[in-house]
Amino acid sequence: MDNPASDTRFAGSIPELYDSRLVPLIFEPYAVDMAARVAALDPAQVLETAAGTGAVTRAMARTLPERATLVATDLNPAMLDRAAAVGTARTVQWQQADAMRLPFEDARFDVVVCQFGAMFFPDKAGAFAEARRVLRPDGTFLFSVWDRIEDNEFADVVTTALATLFPADPPRFLARTPHGHADRSALARELAKAGFAAAPQFETMTARSRAASAREAAFAYCEGTPVRNEIEAGAGADAAAGLAQATAVCTAAIAERFGSGPVDGKIQALIVSIRR
């Protein structure tokens, strides 16, 4: 399915399932790493864009120096509501905001951080230019994107399995959006177009994704991400039955490759850093 309009629709039960199932499955190790990178810069003012349900926000709240202030934003109010409800170890300013049009004055922040949000920006250069605008001179823009889907094993297996269930119009959200923007040259061009003069630094970070069972992993992907929107659209009148069938098909595919007990798969991302 080629349906980018649904790629940013994190609604209904998706925010809660995303936070409770997908964050521990794939986001947590990267959140801890990203928070450490931000803290190492010893910032006084930090802005997070595309904060989602707050995985990085919570990690930064534990890691940043006491003097630092933290503003966390996201386009989707339902995701921020979930983040605020879970809470943080220190005061965070939660604010609904579009990364394409940030409601902050120029040169306010020492660091702008964005974990796994850049893939969703309809105009990356525009969003990167906004990050640069609100950075102080010599401030740092830190962001991450998922690497190719072939390097992220559970996502790859789920995408392949769903294609067997919907052969005429397979759900392609995972390949198209989360794992479709890992071209370093393209990212460097977008950053240059945004006005960054320095060369970006790229680092590949490989980690492990673990779940107690194949079904837990399949459930997280099928029901806790916007691929659910494509599954339900493809299922037609009985969306609930279609979603259950898709989850079962993906469970079987993950179990066939990784076993019927606890499962462990490779995940990989690019960490990008650039000075203003």
Residue-level pLDDT at 43 = 98
The highest-level CATH class for domain 4-275 is: alpha beta
| Nearest CA among 150, 263, 174, 257 for reference residue 215 | 263
The span from the CA of 160 to the CA of 253, in Å, is 9
* Three-state SS at 87: coil
Q: Are strands 45-48 and 109-115 parallel, antiparallel or unpaired?
A: parallel
| pLDDT class of 251 with cuts at 50, 70, 90 | very high
Q: What is the pTM of this model?
A: 0.92
35-72: per-residue pLDDT in tens?
Answer: 999 999 999 999 999 999 999 999 999 999 989 999 99
Residue-level pLDDT at 21 = 87
| Nearest CA among 26, 29, 67, 31 for reference residue 48 | 31
The span from the CA of 164 to the CA of 166, in Å, is 6
Q: Quick check: 196 pLDDT over 50? A: yes
Phi first, then psi: what are they for 96, rounded to 5°? -70, 125
Distance between alpha carbon 232 and the CA centroid of its chain, in Å? 22
- C-alpha dihedral, 211 to 234 to 74 to 31, nearest 10°: 20
Rg (CA), the chain: 18
Residue-level pLDDT at 2 = 58
Give me the percent of the chain exceeding a pLDDT of 90. Answer: 86
CB atoms within 10 A of CB 168: 7
| pLDDT class of 7 with cuts at 50, 70, 90 | very low
What are the distances in angstroms from CA 223 to CA 68, 76, 202, 218? 36, 18, 31, 8
226-247: per-residue pLDDT in tens?
Answer: 899 999 998 888 889 999 999 9
